[in-house]
Structure 1
Amino acid sequence: MHSDRNNNDHSPIYTELAGKSNLLVSFGGIRQGLGIPVFEFFNSLNKLDCDKVFIRDFNQAWYHKGVSEELNSIGAIKDYLQELLHEGNYKRVCFIGNSMGGYAAILFGNLLKVDAVIAFAPQTFIGRLKRFYYWDFRWANEMKALHTSDQAETDYFDLKDILRKGIGTHTQIQIYYSKKHRLDKNHAERLKDSHDNLVLIGMSEGDHEVVKALRDNGQLMQIITEAFQ
């Protein structure tokens, strides 16, 4: 395995690996981790009997630039996770993420054909034209840096294209989003009918921070627990 896992607040990869039968991989979002502090999130999952990995992209580049010198591309992250899955021989694997992390959870979850993906308010496209078409100008500086980077992999810019390829057809995908947030609603609902096992859950609360609303009303733990059943 790789040496990036220093388990401190400045490490891109934080792990709790104890030989459990299930694995939860969480992908951090723009500036906000999973929408709640990293260690608070892990503490909230103490009762969940599974191995845990939390990955953060300090480059703020939707994981296209990787997360470290060693894991410096989407392909390198995919290989790292593939090795982790192979060594753990897990019964069930769930990838989750919020916002940018939701994009990563869907992307890597599909590429690696994991059992379940849970995404909260994810971006489902990050290319210039689609963003202009949907009038999505959020994170302009981060997007400009990504679009001008030679590490940007345009084949992965639109998750609808990835899902339609049918790589991970058995992967169960749940997307939670606020029906009152125009952009999150657009990002989520455009994926309708693009994957056989995709479920869209529109919420009336939470705005872009639906994960906080789910945590506060007690549903977050239940949602994650059910992914392993």
Structure 2
Amino acid sequence: MSLSITDVPALDNRRVKTSTEDVLIDRVVPGEILVIAFGFVSWDARPDFDFYGRLKKLEQASGRHLNKILVRDSGNSWYHRAIAGLGEHPDDTVETLRALVAAIRPSKVVTIGQSMGGYAAVMFGLLLGVEQVVAFGPLSFLDVGQALLYHDRRWIAVMRALAQQPPPSGYYDLAALGRERGGQTQLHIVFGTKPDRDDAIESVNLDAMHAHRLAAAGNCTLYPFPFSGHAVVQHLIDTKRINGLLARIIAGIELAPEPFDVTPAWRDWVAENLRLGSPPAELVEILQQHGFSYDSSVAAVAGGGA
């Protein structure tokens, strides 16, 4: 890939959606923030690029350009094998990314991703020594032994494949990598804490376990969401909180809360719980955890759910 990127044209939705490449670079403005976004897994079709639309909204909200590098792993190998245009394995890929960062000359670098992309955001963020990592529901390891120890078999087939045919370089325990390379990189780990099974009687969530493993390395902020499972990004979109969260972490700005009024179904829930004697303050807190605004939550409880 050529590193003469000052004349790279701006991306648009059509190119991001239809491109056959594994890496795309948006128009470069030296001195502005650079966000490297990693795509999530897709078994039925080629993975999409991720967060492009959200970053465009953040540009509009902040009034400033964001440099963007969009990356996807078409082989669904948690970014441990070939990424066309970047490298054949993680150490190879990180050197190309390092050269791109040097060419762009940003004010700071942020890596971001969800699930498989979250693993890449943490891994490459630590290897590059970026200022911030924003990872939604990432694994903290790709090791078969630890997956069996912690009863996390969700993607154990990928782990087995990497163990059977290991790439020339690999990073299979991000908590250990964080202890070794953490430095000044600030980790922001966003995850759901809702039990993984709907019929669970205890609060068990594997993403929460991984989040706390990463936090143990230090320099980490955790963002638990009690009414979300693994798809925490979709939960934040549904509850109109994703834009505010990204603005706060990446751009350091506070956006006004997006309107999200209490729905009729939740008003019925409020009425039933008030009838059963639940404290009003507790109901307000639960409604806010679901993303409803403070004012609408208070009004719903004060009105008895009507």
TM-score, length of structure 1 as denominator length: 0.87
Q: Is the 8 A contact 1:2 1:80 kept in 2?
A: no
The one-letter code of the counterpart of 2:142 is I
Corresponding residue of 2:130: 114
Q: 1:2 to 1:212 in 2, by over 3 A?
A: farther
Per-residue deviation at 1:116? 0.6
Aligned to 2:299: none
2:174 matches 1:159: yes
Choose between structure 1 and 2 for higher RCO, CA contacts under 8 A separated by at least 6 residues.
Answer: 1
What is the distance in 2 between the residues matched to 1:125 and 1:37? 23
The question of whether the paired residues in 1 share the 8 Å contact of 2:119 and 2:135 is answered with yes
- Structure 1 segments unaligned to the other structure (5+ residues): none
Structure 1 equivalent of residue 145 of structure 2: 129
Instruction: Give the structure 1 partner of residue 232 of structure 2.
Output: 210
Contact 1:94-1:228 at 8 Å conserved across structures: no
Larger Rg over CA atoms: 2
Task: Give aligned pairs, total.
Answer: 221
The answer as to whether partners of 1:112 and 1:168 remain within 8 angstroms in 2 is no
Which one of the candidate residues 22, 39, 48 is aligned to 1:12? Answer: 22
Cα gap change, 1:95 to 1:224, in 2 (>3 Å): same
Distance 1:168 1:142 in 2: 26
Q: TM-score, normalised by structure 2?
A: 0.66
More strand by share: 1
Task: For 1:73, give the aligned amino acid.
Answer: H
Aligned to 1:61: 77
Query: Greater helix percent: which structure?
Result: 2
Q: Residue 168 of structure 1: which of 168, 178, 182 is its match?
A: 182
Letter in 2 for 1:161: A
| From 105, 108, 115, the counterpart of 1:89 | 105
Report the more deviating stretch, 116-125 or 173-182.
173-182
Contact 2:55–2:66 under 8 Å retained in 1: no
Deviations 1:132-179 (A, max 9, x none): 00111113433332221131645x1001111111x2321111101111
Sort the Cα spacing of 1:79 and 1:173 in 2 relative to 1 into closer, same or farther, 3 A.
Answer: same
Is the alpha carbon distance of 1:157 and 1:99 closer, same or farther for their aligned partners in structure 2, counting shifts above 3 Å? same
Aligned to 2:80, the other structure's residue is in SS state coil
Give me the whole-angstrom Cα distance separating, in 2, the residues matched to 1:44 and 1:192: 26
Coordinate RMSD, CA, aligned: 2.4
1:143 paired to 2:159: yes
Q: Distance in 2 between matches of 1:37 and 1:216?
A: 20
Deviates more, 1:6-15 or 1:184-193: 6-15
d(CA) in 2 for partners of 1:146, 1:134: 19
Output the amino acid matched with 1:56.
R
